[in-house]
Amino acid sequence: MAPKYVTALLEAQNHYCCYCHHEMPVKKDQQTIRNEPTKDHVEPRCHGGPTEEHNLVMACAQCNQIRGAMDAVVFYDLLWYWFKNDLTLRTRWHNISRVDMARHKNECSRIHRVQWQRRLKKCAAAALLNQQVPLPFLKTT
């Protein structure tokens, strides 16, 4: 049985995926491996996101799997960019081929790597600023 907050989240979202906005059936016999409701961490666990109600949304298994550890807002924007460029994609989202699914997953992974590298550079720059590194041209006494 699902925790109370999972049921509450699903009802708060009217049983729709927070990313693709497709309906997620409650009855097990209507669910498929791709439209099954899953809890998704807004701030991914691998980035320190807690498994608490304020950090969870309900997403279909398809979106949750393709998103991976990517930033939630960036994934949402990317998904709707795909839907805008391929007008039939949204209607067939849960029935796309494995090849298309892998292509979308690879694009998310590539974008996530770029985001992660930017985050690491910002952290490194912040660490350098916080360290008081003596400048070579200043004499210390």
Residue 23's SS3 state is strand
Residue 68: the pLDDT is 87
Structure tokens at 137: 């041209």
Residue 69's SS3 state is coil
What's the total number of domains in the chain?
1
Note whether residue 139 is domain-resident. no
| Percent of the chain whose pLDDT exceeds 70 | 87
Note whether residue 131 is domain-resident. no
Residue 136: the pLDDT is 46
Note whether residue 12 is domain-resident. yes
Mean pLDDT of 53-75: 90
Work out whether the CA dihedral 76, 79, 85, 88 comes out positive or negative.
negative
pLDDT, tens digit, for every residue of 11-25?
999 999 999 999 988
pLDDT, tens digit, for every residue of 72-109?
988 999 999 999 998 899 888 988 888 998 999 898 88
pTM of the model: 0.74
- Is the pLDDT reported for residue 1 higher than 50? no
Note whether residue 68 is domain-resident. yes
Please give the Cα distance from 88 to 22 (Å, whole number): 14
Structure tokens at 94: 């849960």
Give the residue numbers spanning the domain of 61. 4-120
Note whether residue 138 is domain-resident. no
For residues 83 and 119, the model is more confident at: 83
- Residue 84 identity: K
